Chain A
Amino acid sequence: MPVVRDYLRSTALPHIWCPGCGHGIILAAILRALARIDPDRDEVVVVSGIGCASRAPGYLDFNTLHTTHGRALAFATGIKLAKPKLKVIVITGDGDAAAIGGNHLIHAARRNIGITTFCFNNSIYGMTGGQHSPVTPVGALATTAPYGQLEPSFDLCGLAQASGATFVARGTAYHAAGMTELAYQALTNEGFSFVEAISQCPVGYGRRNRMGDAVGMLKWQKDNTASVRAAERMAPEQLEGKILTGVLHANSRPEYTKAYDELVARLAQDKGGTGR
C-alpha cells in the first residue's frame, strides 16, 4: 500500500502553510484514505480555487489544477464530464467554497456529479490575513470584523445536503484518524460528496480570538465537537453548542456523468431527431 510520502511532489516542498496550521493534518488524512483505495495516479485529478487550502494540489503528484477564486467545482465539472473515468477531487476553503464559490457548490451537489469535495474550514480568510468568512462565528474578531462578526454563519454540511449531495460528513484536524475514515467513504461514493474538515488557523484566527496556540485550538476542536454516534446518547443540554462530526448524510441517486453516458447510448440507438 502506498504511503503519504508517495503522493507528494518532493520538489514542491516545503509547503507555504504557517506553523500550527491544520491543513497538513487534513491533507495527510485524505492521502491515507487514497492510499487505501490505491487508484491509478494518472487518473486522479485534484482541483482547487484560491486560498491557503487551495495551495494543496501543487504538492500532490497527480494531475493538478489550481484555478481562480471560488471556481474549482466549475473547472472540475468540465473535467469530470469530459472524461468521467477520472477520479476528480476538489480541495477548497471556507471562503472559496461558501462565499465566492457558493453557487458552484450548490449546483455541483444538485447534479450529483462524481466529485469529492474537501472544504478545509478554518473560519477565516487566512491567505489575505484574517478577514471574516461566511462561517466565522457571530461575535468572533476578524480584520474586517474588528468589533465582532455580526453576520450569522453558514452550516456548510446542511447547505450541501439540502442541495443534493449524496454523501456529507464533517471531521476535524484533531480527529485525524476519523478524518481518514470519512475521506475514504467520501472518495468511494459514486456521486457528489462533501466533507467539511475543521482546521485551525492559529495565526489568522486563533491569536486574534484568544484561543491559544495550535495545541489550544486542537483541544478546542476536541471539546466542542460530538460525533453523531455519541450525540445519540447525549442529553440536549450536553449537546448545547457542540458541532456534530461524522457521516451526517448518505443516500443514493443517479450520478450525473453516468446519466449523460446513458443519454449518449440511448441516442446512438435512435438515428432520427435533431442530430442531422
Chain B
Amino acid sequence: MSARVALVQGNEACADGAIAAGCQFYAGYPITPSTEIAEIMAARLPRTGGRFIQMEDEIASMAAIIGASLAGLKAMTATSGPGFSLKQENIGFAAMCEVPCVVVNVQRAGPSTGGPTAPGQGDIMQARWGTHGDHPMVAFVPYSVRDTYDLTVAAFNCAEHLRTPTIVLLDEVIGHMREQVEYPERVRVVDRERPDPAITPPDEYLPFAHADGGVAPMADFGSGYRYHVTGLHHDERGMPTANPTEIDRLVRRLQAKMDLAAASWQLYEEMHVADADILIVAAGGPVRPAKRAVNMARANGIKAGLFIPQTVWPFPVKRLRELLGRAKAVVVPELNLGQLVLEIERHACVGGRAVPVHSLTRVDGELFTPAQLYAAIEEVS
C-alpha cells in the first residue's frame, strides 16, 4: 500500500488520525468550527465497526466517551470553546478515574460565544487548568494539516500509555485550512495495558495501583474484572477513602503523569535555532507566518530562529532552556492576550541571565501577518 496523497482539511486530518490510531467511538455535539470532525466520524465509524452518537449536549458527549473507554473502546469527542467549558467537569473525572480518551478543541476567538468562525488561542490555559483540583493534563497543538494527523495519533497513544485524557488544541485556521498532505503508510499505535488473567486473577486486581511506573493495567468493563470507579478520593481498589495517606498518594501519583508525559510525549520542532539570537516561540496557527518572518529576517542578516512546541502541556521546558541559553531575545506571538508566554517567562532566567521576552498578541479574530512578525523581530534585534 502506498502513502495516500490528498487535499485534506485540518478537521478531516484529525478524524483520519483518530481512525488510524484505532478510535472506535465518537460522541459529540455540533459546534463551529469543529463540526466537520463529527460529520466525518458519523459517516466513517459505522463502516469500520465503530460507533458514533450525537449526544444531547457537550457534557453528555464527554460522559459518553468516558463510558465507551471503560467498556474498552478508544474514544474521542471534538468541540470548541463554549463546549470545552461545558466538558470540564467530566474531563476532570476522566483524569481522576484514569480513563483514556481524546478531547479535540478547535479553538475559536473568545471569550464567551466570541467569533465562531474566527481563529483564537484563548484556551491554552483552560486546557491545563480548566477543570478543578490538581490533575495531569497533556495537550498537543498542531500547526499544519499533516501535523494535525500526527498529533491526533500521538494524543491517542499518549492517552492509552498514561491512562489519562489528552487534549488536541486546533484553532479555526488549522481546522478549516486545506493542504496537500501525504499520509504515512502506517503509524505507531499504542494500546492500553490490560490485566492478564494468567498473571492477575480478578480478586487480586488493583485497578488504581500505585505500582512502579504509576500507571496500572486497565480492565475493560465486561472482561471479568469487576471493579469500582468513582470520582471520589479512592484507594487502589477504587473504593472511596478518607484515609489521608491514601488520598495524598493518589493525587501525587496522578500529577506525576506529567513527568511521564514529559519523558515520552514531549514533541517539538525547530527551524534555524542553532545560531539564533532572536528566538520566536509559536504554536498552532501563528507558526506559518512565523516561519515566513524568520526567513525574511535571515535574508536581511538577522539570526532569527523558531521553536515550535507541539506539546504545550507539559511544556518542553528542557529544550526551551537550552535555546534560551544563547538567545538575546524571545518573541512569543499568540492569538490571545498572552498565555503561552507565561510559561516562557517562567523559565527565561538562565544561568543568572534574564532573557527579555516579548509578548505579541492578537485578539481581533484575524491572523498575524509575516510582516507583522518580521517587524517584531527587527524591533528586538
Contacts and interface: CB of A to CB of B under 8 A. Distances in A.
Interface of A: 9, 11-12, 41-43, 45, 47, 57-58, 61-68, 71, 74-83, 85-86, 103-104, 106-107, 260, 263-264, 267-268, 273-276
Contacts of B61: 74
B228 A58 contact: yes
Nearest to A274: B43
Give the 8 A-B residue pairs with the shortest CB-CB distance, closest first.
A78-B67, A78-B64, A275-B47, A74-B63, A74-B60, A82-B68, A274-B43, A66-B230
Contacts of B9: none
B51 A260 contact: yes
A65 B64 contact: no
Contacts of A74: 55-56, 59-61, 63-64, 67
Nearest to B61: A74
B44 A274 contact: yes
Contacts, number: 144
Interface string B222-249: 1110111111100000011000000000
B63 A71 contact: yes
B71 interface: yes
A81 B63 contact: no
Contacts of B118: none
Contacts of B27: 78
Contact of B222 (A45, A67, A260): A45
B66 interface: yes
Given A65-B70, A66-B228, 5 more contacts: A42-B224, A64-B229, A74-B60, A83-B221, A260-B46
Interface string B13-45: 000000000001101000000000000000110
Contacts of A85: 222
8 contacts: A42-B222, A66-B229, A74-B55, A77-B53, A77-B67, A78-B53, A78-B68, A273-B43
Q: Helix, strand, loop or mixed for chain A's interface?
A: helix
Contacts of A82: 24-25, 51, 67-68, 71-73, 75
B72 A83 contact: yes
B71 A83 contact: yes
B44 A276 contact: yes
Given A78-B64, A79-B67, A86-B222, A66 B231 contact: yes
Nearest to B89: A68
Contacts of A264: 46-47, 49
Contact of A79 (B71, B90, B231): B71
Contacts of B228: 9, 12, 57-58, 64-66
B252 to A, nearest CB: 22
A58 B60 contact: no
Contacts of A273: 43, 47
Interface in B85-108: 89-90, 93
Contact of B63 (A43, A67, A80): A67
A89 to B, nearest CB: 12
Nearest to A12: B239
B222 A83 contact: yes
B259 interface: no
Interface string B297-327: 0000000000000000000000000000000
